């Protein structure tokens, strides 16, 4: 098949920096047996093209006129040999895909991958916050032959809006992120708590900090490690708990994969504090590495609780702290939770993701 993937970015020519690894794992697998073209809507400032993992990346650039550039480069690639399917990730990519699909008679698979289905106006998060976003989402849905989402949590959000969506998890490539055995914790040493994700309002690190403060007040010995891009210009570091706990909180910023894996391998519990997640991949990667998750009931946490993750209400710092402390006090339960999570993550790895999308491609192409 000839497949067009439309993505916002995450496909840098380096294959390491400014990439979304789960996306690379998918395109690498698809490219083994199909001709794959990736259309990026602004990976770099200037337009460009490059080869990556057996695919051809066409970057429209961020400058004005990228819609027209997308149209032209897609048309040129389609003219040489017809695309069998267009697959779009994230909201506006789905909108563009719907238009291209209608114009060129190509079926479209649309995978909402973030905040397309929510409207959190207090933090200005979600495609449905604005009239323009809602219109673009309706166009993406109308132009899609098939809609897929990563979790049952997202399926429910879609169903609430009358959208039928198949569940296709975006899994981990175990050849790139190897499986590790579940490990015991030395209770004489501080517990190592880990949070992975950009520091921004939807990830709700304020609740994370409040929870850390409660754990400290209860006399639990721990370190909290945070990895991810800080989009708040350091504001979260000024949180009263962050100032009070000082060097018990470690800010790692953006890490390359080897450094991130070392951090995960040393962790005892992954903490998720988000108000919304379509997945997230961090829960799957932690599971593959033998680390269980305690977090808000979104994405995979909602799906796996209570046997493979522990879910708590969104914004409930007290319950997040309580469940984290209880898990640290019972290492047998922590290891059992981690083992179940690993089984779940292995069942939906990157090979499973690619096979499932390939099946859907053939179905819509027919």
**Which structure tokens are listed for 338?**
């981690």
In 3D space, the residue among 150, 192, 200 whose CA is nearest the CA of residue 22 turns out to be 150
Pairing of strands 35-40, 2-7: parallel
Residue keyed to tokens 């055995």: 181
**Which structure tokens are listed for 104?**
């060129």
**Which structure tokens are listed for 314?**
């969104």
CB count within 10 Å of CB 87 equals 29
Q: What integer pLDDT is reported at residue 147 of this predicted model?
A: 98
Q: What integer pLDDT is reported at residue 130 of this predicted model?
A: 96
Buried (b) or exposed (e) across 224-253, using 16+ Cβ within 10 A? bbbbbebeeeeebbebebbeebeebbeeee
Domain 2-171+349-365 carries which CATH code? 3.40.50.2000
Domain range summary for the chain, segments of one domain joined by +: 2-171+349-365, 191-347
pTM: 0.95
CA pair distance 328, 208, nearest whole angstrom: 16
Q: Is residue 258 classed as helix, strand or coil in its secondary structure? A: helix
CA pair distance 55, 34, nearest whole angstrom: 9
In 3D space, the residue among 183, 187, 190, 196 whose CA is nearest the CA of residue 290 turns out to be 183
In 3D space, the residue among 348, 294, 349 whose CA is nearest the CA of residue 317 turns out to be 294
Asked whether this chain's domains 2-171+349-365 and 191-347 adopt the same fold, the reply is: yes
Contact 271, 195 (CB under 8 A): yes
Contact 217, 186 (CB under 8 A): no
Q: What integer pLDDT is reported at residue 188 of this predicted model?
A: 94
CB count within 10 Å of CB 309 equals 27
Q: What sign results for the dihedral spanned by CA atoms 113, 146, 71, 139?
A: negative
CA pair distance 309, 332, nearest whole angstrom: 14
Alpha-carbon separation of residue 54 from 31, 51, 151, 306, 363 (angstroms): 6, 7, 28, 40, 24
How do the pLDDT tens digits run along the chain, 366 residues long?
Answer: 999 999 999 999 999 999 999 999 999 999 999 999 999 999 999 999 999 999 999 999 999 999 999 999 999 999 999 999 999 999 999 999 999 999 999 999 999 999 999 999 999 999 999 999 999 999 999 999 999 999 999 999 999 999 999 999 999 999 999 999 999 999 999 999 999 999 999 999 999 999 999 999 999 999 999 999 999 999 999 999 999 999 999 999 999 999 999 999 999 999 999 999 999 999 999 999 999 999 999 999 999 999 999 999 999 999 999 999 999 999 999 999 999 999 999 999 999 999 999 999 999 998
Residue keyed to tokens 């945070």: 226
Contact 24, 348 (CB under 8 A): no
- Reported for 361-365, long-range contacts at CB under 8 A and 24+ positions apart, including other chains, are 361/1, 361/3, 361/84, 361/85, 361/87, 361/109, 362/1, 363/146, 364/85, 364/107, 364/108, 364/109, 364/145, 364/146, 365/1, 365/84, 365/85, 365/107
Q: Quick one: CATH architecture of 191-347?
A: 3-Layer(aba) Sandwich (3.40)
């Amino acid at each position: 098949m000839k497949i067009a993937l439309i993505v916002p970015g995450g496909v840098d020519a380096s294959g390491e920096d400014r990439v979304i690894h789960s996306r690379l794992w998918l395109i690498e697998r698809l490219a083994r047996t199909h001709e794959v073209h990736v259309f990026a809507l602004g990976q770099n400032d200037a337009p460009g093209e490059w080869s990556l993992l057996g695919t051809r990346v066409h970057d429209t650039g961020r400058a004005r006129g990228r819609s027209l550039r997308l149209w032209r480069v897609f048309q040129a690639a389609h003219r040489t040999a017809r695309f069998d399917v267009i697959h779009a990730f994230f909201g506006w990519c789905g909108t563009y895909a719907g238009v291209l699909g209608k114009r060129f008679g190509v079926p479209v698979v649309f995978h909402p991958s973030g905040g397309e289905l929510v409207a959190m106006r207090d933090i200005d998060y979600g495609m449905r916050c604005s009239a323009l976003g809602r219109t673009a989402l309706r166009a993406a849905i109308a132009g899609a032959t098939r809609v897929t989402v990563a979790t049952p949590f997202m399926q429910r959000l879609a169903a609430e809006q009358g959208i039928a969506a198949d569940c296709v998890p975006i899994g981990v490539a175990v050849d790139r992120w190897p499986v590790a055995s579940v490990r015991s914790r030395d209770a004489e040493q501080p517990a190592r708590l880990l949070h992975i994700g950009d520091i921004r309002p939807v990830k709700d690190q304020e609740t994370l900090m409040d929870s850390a403060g409660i754990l400290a007040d209860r006399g639990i010995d721990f370190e909290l490690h945070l990895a991810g891009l800080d989009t708040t210009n350091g504001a979260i570091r000024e949180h009263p708990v962050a100032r009070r706990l000082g060097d018990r909180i470690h800010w790692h910023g953006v890490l390359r994969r080897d450094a991130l894996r070392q951090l995960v391998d040393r962790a005892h519990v992954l903490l998720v504090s988000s108000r919304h997640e379509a997945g997230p991949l961090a829960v799957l990667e932690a599971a593959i590495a033998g680390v269980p998750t305690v977090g808000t009931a979104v994405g995979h946490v909602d799906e796996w609780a209570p046997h493979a993750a522990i879910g708590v209400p969104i914004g409930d710092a007290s319950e997040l702290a309580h469940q984290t402390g209880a898990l640290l006090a019972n290492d047998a339960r922590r290891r059992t939770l981690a083992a179940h999570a690993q089984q779940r993550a292995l069942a939906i790895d990157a090979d499973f993701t690619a096979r499932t999308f390939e099946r859907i491609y053939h179905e819509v192409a027919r």
